[in-house]
A and B are shown apart, each in its own frame.
Chain A
Amino acid sequence: MTRPATSSKKSCGRCMPLFSSPIGRKWIVALTGIVLVLFVIGHLLGNLSIFAGPDAMNAYAAFLKSTGELLWVVRIVLLTCVVLHIWFTITLWRENLAARPQKYAVKNELGTTVYARLMRISGLTVLAFVLYHLAQFTWEAFNPEYKTWIDAQGRHDVYRMVVTAFECPFVSGFYILAVGLLGMHLSHGIASLFQTLGITTEKMRPVFEKGGLIVAWIIFLGFASIPTAVLLGLVKTSSTLPACPFCH
């Protein structure tokens, strides 16, 4: 039997094994995943300032903007992590598809969790959501009038923008769906990164798996609490004008 052509020769396997080998690329996905999880947790803590009222949230937003170049450093690091996380996953995914040219007639999902099997769908949906989310609240592309909203202290009225947007059930619904998928992605991702980085032992795996699930639930409930509170009228704005791209 002839050996198949070596893939490592094509992809500069000798000089950059960490970027071409299966395990090296998985490490990059895991390490960038850690950065992104930490960002998600930080972002959640910041967002929860909405429950402290307009002043707290607008002050938090103004503080972030005031960091200037540092904000751009963080943005570039995050963007790099997103690109590496997705790029190396896609290269691994392509190899995985090629490794099973013929499917089984009888499918049996042994041992795998639904979260693990949905990683690619949940990841890509979260990516689509992140782009939409940036367009909505960072670039303010759908509602240019957001840019003109200023609170009493002369700060950008982020509180009013968020509450107004979430008053639309479609915006809130997509947000809750997306953070739900994010939670599913993280429940496998968090438990999985310990295995990939070689930290897991037989004894610790159930701990990491339960821990991942608990952290994912906390993140999901934390994010979902904001649109839910707006829809239930617990978090309100004095403005009466709904400015939703879908509702009118």
Chain B
Amino acid sequence: MSTMNFHLRLWKQKSAADKGEFIKIHATEIPSECSFLEMLDIVNNRLTREGKEPVSFASDCREGICGTCHMVINGVPQGPGRGAACQVYMRKFENGQTITVEPFRVGAFPIVKDLVVNRSAYDRIIRSGGFISEHTGGAPDASTTLIPKPVADAAMDAAACIGCGACAAACPNSSPMLFVGAKVTHLGLLPQGQAERKSRARNMVRTMQEEGFGNCSNYYACEAVCPANVPASVIAMLNREYIRGEVSESVGAID
């Protein structure tokens, strides 16, 4: 097992009101098999042993599914390569490299502490339209509702979104439209999502605007960092769904 050394620049910030600054840590003897978060664990253990305060960061499943971990590693939200920050491995870096870790810089995601931001704004966007109404009770037979394979595939690609916030963090405009587009595409393509289809995009876009997020400029930085490989074509679908919903609302069309 080989070990590596890194020069870390980690963001320290006591609270949203605090100014915050980078602290420099020379991280030595880090096993190359470590994931990025395990490396931070090692660094934090050492800080704790030295009686210093560890660097706060968020994580949960550590296998790229839950979307809890969020940080910007050398300017890349969720770090280099595909996958979430927990799927970045230290062997991907050069020995002796300087690694800068900062929190998501999105106005609508206020900093809680150090690398942890509050992404409740995404939850409020979901609450405003990212759901379906469905009967409870016995599960219907899987073949009752027929869905063409390409539609199911496209819906599944969009459903891969883990809501981690990397799209808004990568976007020069802090726009979450890859996230909103993923939800609108996923639910709008499937028969179960039709009941709310007309109002979904309108309500989610309105909440997005109220939360203070930016607007899409078709930069496609979101697509380049998305750990779930959600394609930017979901934003085209969102643009379409939004106008359809808004126009039928203003002219009073039922369908």
Q: Is the CB of B208 within 8 A of A104?
A: no
A205 at the interface (CB under 8 A from B): yes
Q: Which residues of A contact B211 (CB under 8 A)?
A: 3-4
The CA of A109 and the CA of B217, in the complex, are separated in Å by 14
Q: Is A188 an interface residue (CB 8 A)?
A: yes
Q: Which residues of B contact A154 (CB under 8 A)?
A: none
Chain B residues contacting A200 (CB-CB under 8 Å) are 233, 236
Structural contact, A100 and B246, CB atoms closer than 8 A: no
Give the residues in chain A near B240, CB-CB below 8 Å.
197-198
Contacting pair A105 B22 (CB below 8 A): yes
- Asked if B107 contacts A108 (CB within 8 A), the reply is no
**CB-defined contacts of A47 to chain B, threshold 8 Å:** none
Contact A96/B220 with A104-B75, A195-B239 known, Cβ cut-off 8 Å: no
Contact between B107 and A7, CB atoms less than 8 A apart: no
CB distance from A24 to the nearest CB of B (A): 7
Does B96 count as interface, using CB distance less than 8 angstroms? no
A106 with B102: in contact, given A22-B205, A100-B174 (CB under 8 Å)?
yes
Is A59 close to B, CB under 8 A? Answer: no
Q: Which residues of B contact A104 (CB under 8 A)?
A: 72, 75, 102, 105
Using an 8 Å CB-CB cutoff, how does the interface string of A1-29 with B read, 1 for contact, 0 for none? Answer: 10110111000010001100111111100
Closest-CB distance, B234 to chain A (whole angstroms): 9
Which residue, A7, A26, A108, A116, has most C-beta atoms of chain B within 10 A? Answer: A108
Can you list 17 residue pairs at the A/B interface with Cβ under 8 Å? A3-B124, A4-B212, A7-B212, A17-B206, A18-B250, A23-B205, A26-B215, A26-B239, A96-B174, A99-B107, A99-B175, A106-B75, A110-B76, A111-B222, A111-B224, A188-B218, A195-B239
- Which 5 A-B pairs have CB atoms at the shortest separation, nearest pair first? A198-B240, A108-B75, A111-B224, A99-B214, A106-B75
Interface residues of A (CB under 8 A from B): 1, 3-4, 6-8, 13, 17-18, 21-27, 92, 95-96, 98-112, 116-117, 119, 188, 191-192, 194-202, 205
Query: Known contacts A21-B242, A116-B219; can you find 5 more A-B pairs with CB under 8 A?
Result: A1-B118, A7-B212, A21-B246, A23-B242, A111-B170
